Structures are given as C-alpha cells and as structure tokens.
Chains A and B, each alone.
Chain A
Amino acid sequence: MSLRTDSQRHWLRRTAKGLTAATLLAVAAAPLGAAAEEHQGPAPLTGESLTVVSWGGPYAKAQKRAFFDAFTAETGIRVRMDDFFGGLAQVRAQVEAGSVHWDLIDLEFADVAQGCEEGLLELVDIDELPPAPDGTLARDDYFEGSFSDCGGAGIFFSTIYAYNRESFPAAAPSKIEDFFDLKRFPGRRGLRRSPLVNLEFALLADGVPAAEVYAVLDTPAGKARAFRKLDSIKDQVLWWDTGAQPVQMLADHEVVMATSFNGRIFHEAVVERQPFVIVWDGQVLDSGQFAIVAGTPRLAAARKLLLFLSRIENMAALTRYFPYSPMRHSATKLIYTHLETGVDMWPHMPTNPANMGRVLVNDWHWWRDHHDEMTERFSAWLLR
C-alpha cells in the first residue's frame, strides 16, 4: 500500500477531477525515478547484498539518496531496502526461527535498547564507531545518553502538531495549549491512535512543566489527569494509525490540526508546498538508530555498513533531504541545505534551540514499563 507516493495522494485529494492529471504525472515521473536509480557508483559490485529495513515514504527515499547509494558506490555491496512499521516482532521471529534475512534495521531508540537487552541485536562497541574529523572519540561526540550497546548512526526526530494555514486566516495556534482550546481554535484534530505522546501533550497543555511530566504520569492521579484533558477534545478527534494519514487529513480539511512527525510535515510543506505549519512548542523529542539483527549470516558486511553510516559526513548527509538531526555534535555542525529546494535545514531541525523553547524528551524507560497497561487503558477510554 503506497499511499505515500505523491501521485496517489493527489488522486485521493482531487478524486475524479485530478485523476487524468495524476496519471500523466505518474507516467512523467516514472522515467525520472528510473534515471535516478541508474546512478550507480564506480566500485564494481561484489555480488554481496544487504537488506536494510526502514520506514518507507519520503524518509526511506531520503536515506537511500543520502547514504545507501553511496555505500554501494564505495564498497560494491548492494543494498536492498524494505519497509516496516516499527517494533521488534519480525526481528524476534527471525532470530527465534534462526533464519535471519534482515541485516540492518532502522529502529526507534526504545526498541534498540530492548532488542539489545534481549539479545535480538548484535552488540556494537561505541569505540568501534568512527571518530569525529577533529579526532573526538565517538563516545564524546554523541549527545549525552543517546547511544546504546547495539546502535550506530542515529537521528533525532520529534512529534509535533501542525495546522493547515487555510483553516486559520486570522489568529493561528502557537502553543501546545491551543491544540486543546476548542473555543479559540474550533475544528477537528488528528491524533495518533496510541497513548504515546498524547498523554504527554495532554499534561503539557494542562500546565505541567516538561521536566515533571513523567513524574506526574507515574501517579494514578496524573494518569487520570491526562485522560481528563484528552476527554475535553475527545469528540473532536480523528485518530490516525499510519504516518500518511494525518497529512492526508490536513490536506483534505478533515482536520484543522494534527499531530505528526516533523519530517512528514516538512516534506509536505516544503517539497509538496502544502500550507502546513509546524508548532514546535511542546514538541516531544525522540530518537532512532540503526542496529544489526543478531545472527545475520552477512555480519561482516552489515558491520561495514553500520560503521559507514556512523561517519560524520554520512550522518549529516541525510539533512540534504530530511529534517532529522544527527545524534553527534560534530555532524550537527554540518547540517546542510535541502538539495531539492535550497531551503536552509537548520530552522527545521528538532534540535535547533529556536525550536526547543518547550521540549519534552520522550522517556522510553517509562513507556517500556507502562506501554501495555496504558494501551489497554487508552483503548478502553476510546470506546467509552
């Protein structure tokens, strides 16, 4: 299902009217795509091939252009990309069955940590990762607390909410409180059908300082408070499950604002020229890393790829295409302009201090402890 491809999205939006145009667009775009894929590097192919699993959509396309193509060019090892929706289920199934066909996987940080603890991922010594150009060791170059025993490379991304500018010609929302303010900003909202991030947003909007959110959530009264806050907008919420849905809802005016990932909204606003605006206030910052699936028969090549991806220039290269900031200080200094549009990427980065006025760092330890009970409780709450 590739709702992600832009020609199809347009089709959804304009239905019959746009059908012909979209078809023409797809036909016209096809040779361009083919031409881009033919751009192979000079290193002779070794016949080896690695399977890398990522999140699909514009993000995976950006990764391919930013570093996987370059890896093939440098080493001659082919990279085959596959999509998944996160989580460790397939990794665990492959490891338990002893038939690993995924080599490298782009995981959320919590999953890297869990997979590492449970032996589903190969161990990676931080000191193996390449140093910064000025010689700073990787362990000093990573942001504090942002590397695990199994991950390499790594990005920060954030969950924010965005609104459709056309919905608010006069005063526009600017704070997390505005998301919950139906009086000043009437209209439906899009939220992810999951307790993740929603509980944090609710508490932030209810006046809990970012530093205390998880401490409050840890108490029964705090959980009740978060759900009470969500109650106040409950019948004005459309719930989304996949990343393509909230941007679709915004484009269709089904909702006036929706939570999403900052990269998705950037892509829609800057590349697709949709009138979407990100509200950075109250952003929930999270991270992800590449990791190697334990027991892969292509371990040496997979390690080579992981080390390649952890090089400063490759970590920064993603920012030519996508606004997810690298996890290493030295790579952050290299953040580029957007290749396709020439837009300066720094203002779009979640780690830009201008966007970090009120930021909550996702406490995955808390979520690992409480995800199951919160999911049960959230599902029960939805049905009430």
Chain B
Amino acid sequence: MVELGNLSQYAALGFALGAIILLVGGIIRNDFRYIMGGRRALAFTPLFTTMAALSLTYLFATDAFQVEYVMSYSDRALPFFYKLTAFWAGQDGSLLFWVWTLSLFAAVVAFNTRNELEQRPTPYIYLVMAGCMVFFLFLLTRVTNPFELLPFTSRDGRGLNPMLQNPGMIFHPPTLFLGYVGFTVPFAYALGAMMGGNPDESWLKKIRVWSVLSWVFLTIGIILGGQWAYVELGWGGYWAWDPVENASFIPWLVATAFIHTSIIQERRNIMRVWNMVLIVLTFVLCLFGTYLVRSGILQSVHDFGATGLGGYFLVFMAGAALLGFGLIVFSYQRLRSEHSIESYLSRESTFLFNNVILLALAFATLFGTMFPLLSEAVTGNKVTVSQPFFNRVNTPLFLLLLLITGLCPLIGWRKASASNLRKNFLLPAAVTTAGGLGLFIAGIREVYPFLAVSLSIFIASTIFQEFWTGTRARVRLTGEGALIAFPKLVWKMRSRYGGFVAHLGVVLMVIGITGSYAYKQENQATLKQGQTIAVGDYTLRYDRAGTYSDRNREVQAAEFSIFRDGQYLDKMRTERRFYTNAEQPTTEVSLRSTLLEDLYVTMPAVGENQEVTLKVAVNPLVIWVWIGGFVMVFGGIMSIIPRFTRREIIPHV
C-alpha cells in the first residue's frame, strides 16, 4: 500500500505536469489536439490522487505503524472512526486531502467545459488548475510525503491529539479545505478570462456556483471550528481571534465581498476590475491562511505550526499574487466597465460600501494578526494582539456593516427615488424604534449590545418586508393564497431570497454573539461533596465523584444536581481525561443547552480528597450562533440550487 500510495502521487504529478506541457504547447501552436490532450491528462489526475488517498486511509485502518505519518497521528486504542479521520490530523494528510479535492474539482471543470474547448479562456483555466496541482503534488512527493517510512516498525503509534477526538474536528478541517480549494476554480476562471482576452461577464456566470459553494464550505468550516472550541477547549467561548482562526476568517470576508459585487457585475456589467481584484485577493488570502498556519511565524493555540512549509507557500502565494494582479493591470483597458453607478441612492452603491466595510474588516484583522511581527521588527518589543484588540477595532465596523445590510433591501437597483426610500423605510424604522425601546426597558443599555440587537431588528424587519411585499405581489398576480404564494415565491426566486435567508442567519448569529459575550455570568469554586455553587438563577450541588478507565484514557468524573430557583432540574456530569498519549489532562465540558441559555460546566481540578474545582458559566443565547450559522449556510445553498423546470408564466387575473 505504501508503494501504491507513493506511485499514485508520482503518477498524479506526472499527469499534471503532462497537462501543463500539452496545454502550453496547444496554446503556443494553436493546436486543438494538444489542448484536448492536456484536458484528458487533467481529467485523469483524480484517479491517482484517489488511489493515494485510499492507500493512506487503508494504512490508518490497519495500524501500519511503519509509516511515520500513521505512527504520529494514530494508535491501536484509537476508535476506528477517528483512525479514518486522523487522515487530516497532520500536515501531510491535509495536503493529500487538499490535492485530492483539487484534482476532483479540476476533473469537474474539465467535464463542465467539454463543449467550450474552442473558447480562448478554456486552456488557460486548465493551465491554472494544473499549475496549482503541480505545486501541491511537488510538496507531497518531495517535501512532506505522507507515505514516508520509518527505519523501524513501531509497536504502537503516538495517537491522535485528544482535543481532535471530537466530532466537530472530523468535519472542521475538511470543510475548511473544501472552501480554500474551491476558490481555486473562480481564480482559474478569472485568470483564464484575462489571459484569454475575454474578461466580460461570462466567466462570472460560470463560477457563481463554485464561489458560493466554496463560501458555504468556508462558513461551515469556521462555524464547526467555533463549535469545537466551545465544547472541547473548556474556556466557555467559541472565537478568540487566534491567528489561525483569523487565517480562515480573512479570506471569508473578502469572498463575501466578492459574492456581493459579482451580483452587481452580473446584473449591471460594472465593477469588473473590482471583482477581479477581489477573487485574486481571496485566493491569495486562502494561501496566506495556509502559510500562516504552516509557517509557525505567529504563536497560536493551534499546535501544528512551524512545519517548514511556510517558505514554499510564501513563494507560491507571491507568484499567484504577481500573476493575478499583473494580469489585472495588463487587462485594465478591457476590464473597464461600459456602465456605471447612477446614484448614491442605489443598491449598487450600498453593495460598494458593504464591500469597503468587509475589506476594512479583513484588513484590520490581517493587520492586527501581523502586528506582533511588525512591532518586533520596528521596535524590538514583543507585543500580543488578542481578543480585546480585535473586539475594540472590529466591533464598530461590524455595526456599520449591519446598518448597510439593513439598508440594502430598501434601496432599488440603479436609482432609488427619495419617496420610494421613505415608503420602504417607514415600517422597518418603526419596528426598530419599538424594538429599541423594548430593549431599553428590558435593561439592555450598554452601547454595543444595544446597537447590535437594534440593528439586527432593523435587518430582520427589512427582510420580512421584502418577503411580505413579494408574497403580496404574487397573491395579486396569481390569485393564490398567501400560504401558497409565499413558498412558491421563495422557491422560484431562490437565488434572490437565498441571499435574504443568509442575512437572516447573520441576524441570528449577531443576537447569539451579543447575548453570549455581553451577558455571560460565571463563577468558580472548589467544592466538597454536598456543597453548592451558584451562578445566575442556577445552583449546582456536587453529589459524587469517581474514576474509571476507557480504551485510551483514565477518567475522573464528577456528578452534580442542578437547581433553578430552588427547583430540581437535572443531573450533569463533567470529566477530566488523562489520555495515554498526552502529558496534560483535558477537561470535558458538560453542557445543558436551551434556546435561551447554556449552562456550561468544566472541572479544572480534582483534589486528593475528592474535592473538585468547578467553573460554571451561564452563556445566554449561544445556540443562536449555531442556528444562525446553519441558516446562513442554508441561504447560501438555496441561492445556487439550479433551475430544474422552465420558467413559469404567471397568468394575469
């Protein structure tokens, strides 16, 4: 299997290199046969990368500890399912997963463009895809090979990091990778369009699904990462503005900006240069994220930094940036739009300002992340830039973004009249004022939480107004009842309403984030059996403790009774686990989650006489962060579901 894996990687590299040679030959000689050959070579690479991926999976499943990578991330006691997911626990497997998905995407692109071979951008698109694949396959075969053998066969492996033995970690890395890899396709199409001399709107239409789907995967990856941090790390939060978290959030922000302005370009043929810049930037930032993670240049809570791959990524990233931005400069005259924004009071201009804020957020996050390096280089002083800094700098920008998100649906395309705006603005403004007053009476008076929730109410009311106006128009046109007209309207105009659903998800997330950060209550105490600890309306009584052994760990467990306002509610149990392969114990979070709040319990220490140190927190509205994330992802997917039927002709009644 090791040989098969190795050979498959080399074969994939050979085919990708072959594709490049044939494509370059085809472009230079203007020979269609070469381009066909290059396309075939590209389409064959997934065959070999799949074989390599299956080989590695088999080696993990069979405890092949003569392979260094398997020995480093698995052991005999590891549950079978985690053995399979240990595939992407380290750098080598992650890169193999990356190249496997990239090759599959390349094959899909080759299939989708089967009837477009005569179009000038097509061979360039293949060329960019093949170029990216060669880079990753080079790393896999020459620098960080997952099939590297040890000089001996180890009796057991080092095992998987206990923190990665969590369901969230099974899906978090692959979804992030799918997001990162997915943006290679829009990047390839953008470069193809410029190199092929045809940078009009056609490339954008073809990559809409790719860009939204990549954004969806990136969103899922980020949310799952937050969820994992919440249930596994035991500090009671889900986002710490850690450099590695930021590394995924920065391209997400730029990709979000791109998805918004690409809609404008599709509808109005404007912002062509802007969109090219955004998609090149998104791809480069995806690479930058990987560089940040793999170079170990910044200290992070993630422990997989400093692997020596940073230099390679830096060179590749610089090459991609030079090529992308160079082509934009070179194609500038052809990229210039024929049309333009007609009025400040138009949806186009709100999209433009939404872009400015998203990019400012990305820049602020990037600058803050890199500032420790800059400070050390300039002053020689080491500083730390963490959560408080990012909250201080980014929160005003987020609030401004919420305001623009709310205003956007109120303003029509091209040029909105002031009277129309007033008419549209009236209801949301009234609802927001009433909501704000309600918040004030309810005691929510701190500036940021008050503004965040009020603006969320504003966005939600503008979205519901949109749904209501559309449904009413359909009822008027078709004579259908509102209950039938509403789902039909949403389904038939899903690309438009999918966006609104995604914005509703943002609203839910903002409410969850505001509640959980601004109104968190916590307490910590060391208890003897029978003693209690109180936090908010809850009281926890420490009932009993015990120890037991599981497959790959020794466990100290403690059980509690929970009371709310004196009434018994439930029992909870929290653990400290001592994994055989880890020096430090891990704390297992005990969670009681409702729609209103989470009761979050961890046990940082157990004393010699069974006294336990408990950290208890009441985190309001956290569940809405996950629900909001799900709604956002659902909205994104909804907006790209293709049309299956012919367009319905609505009869006039």
Query: Do chains A and B interact in one complex?
Result: no
The chain A residues found within 8 Å of chain B, CB to CB, are none
